[in-house]
């Protein structure tokens, strides 16, 4: 499933396509939304952003179109006279001045009054989005030390979307590696320096994944892998999906474990338990 950086990049593409324009047409496959489509015609799209793995299309009358890609959903941007080449099922189409944004294969779509968005059953459980909500280093540190979070092992905590929205499996692995922390570490037990590294990496690794389209590896390590003609999937990450390969930092074989029923990769030397 795409993680926060990928959804934010999707939101950026849809924003560039239709934001600042008034809709000429809106179409929904869902019966409860189809009846509201006409009311969106003439409305200006003022912004498209993301919150965790949800994409939010905001209109000038205060309404917000919520969509969640889940496993198979995908947004495509295209000219209205150029239908995307796909066998996927069309769910939503928004058209503005010859430009279209089309959502395929997703099933979780709804239209909300902006002031009621906080009551959304999914969004209401989310923590702040690291890429959308201007989260600061100080806020990350303070959140990690909240009573409800500080005693929890990081391997499970980082996937809890009530902590920070958008961190998924690959980000969890990469954040812990660059912070030099074992997945059983707890925020409340960390020394000051380790807590600072963790907070910094939560922000920096997520931002790098957004800026570099999913690449979280160090530039020099990635360059060395490319020189060996490694695939993008091989040099993209510093740690994730590299079981049995040598750690870039120390040469120790990378190990894989299951934490909260999901795979996590770590270096036993760079990230010692305890």
**Residue positions annotated with a catalytic role:** 2-3, 53, 262
Q: Which residues pair with 100 in a beta bridge?
A: 78, 95
Residues 6+ apart with CB under 8 A from 239: 173, 174, 177, 247, 254, 265, 266, 267
**What are the start-end ranges of the H helices in 89-229?**
137-144, 154-157, 169-179, 192-211, 219-227
Provide the 3-class DSSP secondary structure of residue 25: strand
- Separation CA 88–CA 55 (nearest Å): 19
Beta carbons within 10 angstroms of residue 51's beta carbon: 26
């Amino acid at each position: 499933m795409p993680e926060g950086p990928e959804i934010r990049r999707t939101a950026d593409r849809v924003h560039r396509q239709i934001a600042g324009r008034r809709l000429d047409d809106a179409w929904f496959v869902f019966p409860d939304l189809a009846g509201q489509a006409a009311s969106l015609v003439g409305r200006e799209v003022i912004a498209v952003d993301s919150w965790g793995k949800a994409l939010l299309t905001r209109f000038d009358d205060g309404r917000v179109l919520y969509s969640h890609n889940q496993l198979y959903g995908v947004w495509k941007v295209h000219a209205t006279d150029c239908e995307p080449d796909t066998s996927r099922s069309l769910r939503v189409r928004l058209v503005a001045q010859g430009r279209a944004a089309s959502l395929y294969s997703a099933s979780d779509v709804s239209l909300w009054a902006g002031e009621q968005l906080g009551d959304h059953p999914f969004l209401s459980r989310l923590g702040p989005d690291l890429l959308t909500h201007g989260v600061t280093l100080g806020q990350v540190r303070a959140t990690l030390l909240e009573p409800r979070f500080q005693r929890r092992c990081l391997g499970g905590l980082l996937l809890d979307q009530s902590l920070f929205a958008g961190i998924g499996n690959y980000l969890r692995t990469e954040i812990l590696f660059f912070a030099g922390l074992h997945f059983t570490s707890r925020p409340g037990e960390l020394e000051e320096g380790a807590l600072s590294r963790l907070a910094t990496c939560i922000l920096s690794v997520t931002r790098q994944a957004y800026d570099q389209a999913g690449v979280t590896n160090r530039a020099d390590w990635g360059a060395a892998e490319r020189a060996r003609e490694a695939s993008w999937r091989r040099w993209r990450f510093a740690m994730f999906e590299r079981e049995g390969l040598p750690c870039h930092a120390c040469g120790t074989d990378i190990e894989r474990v299951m934490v909260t029923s999901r795979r996590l990769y770590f270096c036993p030397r760079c990230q010692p338990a305890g």
